[in-house]
Amino acid sequence: MTAFGPLMVDVAGLSLTDAERVRLRNPAVGGVILFARNFASTEQITALTAEIRALRHPHVLIAVDQEGGRVQRFRADGFVHLPPMGRLGALFERDRQAGLEAAKSLGWLMATQLRMVGVDVSFAPVLDLHRGISGVIGDRAFARDPSAIIALAIAWTAGMKEAGVAAVGKHFPGHGSIAEDSHSAHPVDHRSLATIEREDLRPFLAMIERFIPALMMAHVVYPQIDAHPAGFSTVWVNELLRQRWHYQGAVFTDDLTMAAASVVGDITARVDAALAAGCDMALICNHPEWVDEVLTRRKFDTDPLREVRLAHLIGHGMVPSANRFHHDPRTAAAMAWVDRLKDARADADAGWFLNEE
């Protein structure tokens, strides 16, 4: 059986249904993304990930959006509510060394807590620019200055790597300069490739040079480069990302059920287009019937390169016990940064979870 098929899907609740077990055993499915609705406690989420892992060997990738701030799926029962990445950027602007130390420490904390409950992948960090244009990005981004984003992303991903979790930079080639939200609209960026390279692409290219293990594509059209949204574009994924910039890591689509992905056609057409463009894994969230449609209509060939790229994302290294984690000086250091970065506004929008349902 192929270990990593090209589909990443979700599950409905706190444990698996019989239909979900059948779906996750399908060789075309290579990953599961979890949401807040799948989390009730650390004990429960650990049992759920163990149930998923037990279905196949090697197990499918288990992923979650655990950025901090507005987009953090697990944030109760011992999970630290992390500050948004924008707070790290603000700290970095005041005190560069403190910002870098905080970024590495919080990247480690986030990743360690995920490893302890059986999660392999966090879709973080956000590498988009915080230009005050995109509401859906906003303080999910580290900063406006690409140089600051690069420095903080290097530190954050180093913390994740230390904890045994691979980083996934998003949303390539940059979503921060477009006002429209791809969850509900069809964002278009009319700038030239040269302009985007000077600005939004800089953090991505810097992290590519340092081999960030995975990237997530943006559902944004850049008509001066290609007529298709980036995640469906052979120009962006194959010609530029793979050939021009020699990226060897895994490439994920954003959720193919989002409004911006609908321009390509039905769900099968979206999966076909994303994989034909060069993406390794296509996300289908909140529509299990669409997953079943794809599984019925398509059979996917084994792709050795995809297998290798995705295998690198499995969590690795020793998983600390709860007792060891609580007594680790790195935990105390990270909690000190959390306390320092707290703000009365931090929970003002705590009810907004992107792709929650």
> Would you call 254 a catalytic residue per the annotation?
yes
What is the dihedral sign for C-alpha 240, 136, 129, 80?
negative
DSSP label at residue 95 = -
Contacts of 254 (CB under 8 A, 6+ apart): 170, 171, 182, 216, 217, 218, 219, 231, 261, 283
228 is catalytic: no
From residue 159, alpha-carbon distances to 56, 120, 167, 243 in Å are 29, 15, 10, 29
From the list 183, 186, 287, 312, the catalytic residue is 183
CB atoms within 10 A of CB 93: 13
Name the 3-class secondary structure at 142.
coil
289, two tokens:
């019937």
> What does the alpha-carbon distance between residue 4 and residue 308 come to, in Å, rounded to a whole number?
9
| Residues 154, 16: Cα–Cα separation, whole Å | 36
How many C-beta atoms lie closer than 10 Å to residue 312's C-beta?
A: 14
User: Which residue from 170, 273, 171 is spatially nearest to 227, judged by alpha carbons?
Assistant: 273
Q: How far is CA 191 from the centre of its chain?
A: 25
250 has which bridge partners?
A: 214
153 Ramachandran zone, left/alpha/beta (phi>0; psi -120 to 50): alpha
Write down the catalytic residue from 120, 128, 226, 254: 254
Is residue 48 within 8 A of residue 14, CB to CB? The reply is: yes
Q: Could you list the active site residues?
A: 183, 254
